[in-house]
Amino acid sequence: MVFVAGTPAHHCLIPDVNLTVDWYRAVIPIEVVDGKQESSRCSRYRLDVVRNLSAQGFLPGRDVNLTDLEQESCVDGFSYSKDIYQSTLVSEFDLVCSEQWKKPFTSTVLFLGVLTGSLFSGPISDRFVPESPRWLLSQGRADEAEAILAAKKNKVIAPQPIFAGVHFQDDKAPSREHYNVFTLVRNAGVLNTTLILYLLWFTMSTGYAGLSLNTSQLHTDPYISCFISAAVEVPAFVTSWLALQYLPRRLAVMCILVLGGASLYGIQLVPQDLSGLSNALEMVGKFGFTTGTSLMFVYTAELYPTALRNMATGTCMAVSRVGTCIAPFILELSVYSKNLPQIVLGTLAFLSIFATIFLPESFGHPLPQTIQQMQRRERIKCPCMKRKANSKSVVMIESQL
């Protein structure tokens, strides 16, 4: 999207009319953007007025005060620079300046988001991934679990049978409970964990996608910008691996969210003439969101029992796709304030930090096998809730006395 939907430098198209050289250069107004003077991208002086002034021999800036001239929109189309791109979606469909560009751009973004989700989470990929032996064993399908563990395709000889000492539920016993997506919201404890994880996944994906799509703003050459943005992900993945090895999950997630949110907020304090520092802080933010995205896959899987693990991870990924689709529109907030997208992403990060406090810790603990084991995991509770519970117990004791 950085290249396909890139916006080349542009201004209103000046048709082939009889204008002097001075008026041809002056027909595009000069505007102040972020403290710098540049040619207007979306307006021009009224062409019929300019043509009459040019025919009468008046000179712009000397005989005519340009600020007094009436302006008009780019009714004849746009002229795009080809210094970097020969053609993009923006230049092909004139997706600039007008309200009309929003509809096709929205459709494009949503289509790409849905396509990405279907490619990486649908049966295009599932058929090549073996089922979890733990889940197969819990369903009594020992033969299939043994086939996966024995790696028969690799000609590995394993002791037979592998699960000789495992006792399965017989046919006369009550049927096993079947879990579905509603199980995630049916139980209060599971629901709280699920909602917090949804917020974390949404924050991580929105931050990662937003900063990735904003890559072209890092450098005048978008190819160098893309290289810088991609290079940041290498240490991020290494950091996530080290964090998974040595740090508690909750602490690791909170630290990277603090890093990402603080760096994005810090951009507001950087003077305009230090654009390099602003870009560096933005890349620190992307480092944090990239690291956090990698951590969330493992952390989510460790919180749920076997029967809910794949389902919970799948729904979290679906929520993250929503964040990916919303990210381009967050970037459009820069129309109102240059750093408003960074403020929004940083705010999401700090909200997620507070929510992470109430997640259970999974580092160094065995994976839960049942929903009951998942609920028994230690978590931090709100002090106000604890005082409320204590007050209730006191009232009950006094009433009994």
- Which tokens hold the place of 56? 């009468």
Beta-bridge partners for 189 = none
- Which tokens hold the place of 329? 């529109």
The whole-number pLDDT of residue 278 equals 87
Integer angstrom CA distances of residue 221 from 3, 63, 125, 232, 285: 11, 40, 35, 17, 21
Q: What is the dihedral of CA 355, 357, 363, 367, to 10 degrees?
A: -60
- Which tokens hold the place of 8? 């080349």
How far apart are the C-alpha atoms of 392 and 75, rounded to whole Å? 71
What are the domain boundaries of the chain?
10-94, 98-129, 132-169, 179-375
Contact 29, 45 (CB under 8 A): yes
Q: For residue 84, what are the contacts with CB-CB under 8 A and spacing of at least 6?
A: 6, 8, 221, 222
**Other CB atoms within 10 A of residue 48 CB:** 10
Digits of tens for pLDDT over the chain (401 positions)?
788 888 888 999 998 888 888 999 999 999 887 677 888 999 999 999 999 999 999 999 888 898 889 999 999 999 999 888 888 988 898 888 864 444 444 455 555 554 444 444 444 745 567 777 777 776 777 777 777 776 655 666 666 666 665 655 444 444 456 777 788 878 888 889 999 999 999 999 999 999 998 887 777 788 888 898 999 999 999 999 999 999 999 999 999 999 999 999 998 888 878 888 888 999 999 999 999 999 999 999 999 988 888 889 999 999 999 999 999 899 888 888 888 999 999 999 999 999 999 999 999 888 888 888 886 766 665 554 445 545 554 444 444 44
How far apart are the C-alpha atoms of 267 and 218, rounded to whole Å? 13
Match domain 179-375 to its CATH number in 3.40.47.10, 1.10.760.10, 1.20.1250.20, 2.40.70.10.
1.20.1250.20
The whole-number pLDDT of residue 271 equals 86
* Angle, alpha carbons 244-250-251 (nearest 5°): 80
Beta-bridge partners for 37 = 32
**Other CB atoms within 10 A of residue 174 CB:** 6
Q: What is the phi/psi pair of residue 40, to 5°?
A: -65, 140
Give Cα 217 distance to the centre of its chain: 17
How far apart are the C-alpha atoms of 375 and 225, rounded to whole Å? 46
Cis peptide before 383 (omega within 30 of 0): no
The whole-number pLDDT of residue 198 equals 95
The β-bridge relationship of strands 10-12 and 36-39 is unpaired
Burial tier of 190 (Cβ tally within 10 Å: 0-12, 13-18, 19+): buried
Contact 237, 294 (CB under 8 A): yes
How far apart are the C-alpha atoms of 20 and 54, rounded to whole Å? 6
The whole-number pLDDT of residue 380 equals 62
Contact 320, 209 (CB under 8 A): no
3-state secondary structure of 64: strand
Integer angstrom CA distances of residue 264 from 50, 282, 284, 303: 45, 6, 8, 29
The whole-number pLDDT of residue 396 equals 47
Handedness of CA 104, 107, 113, 115 (dihedral sign): negative
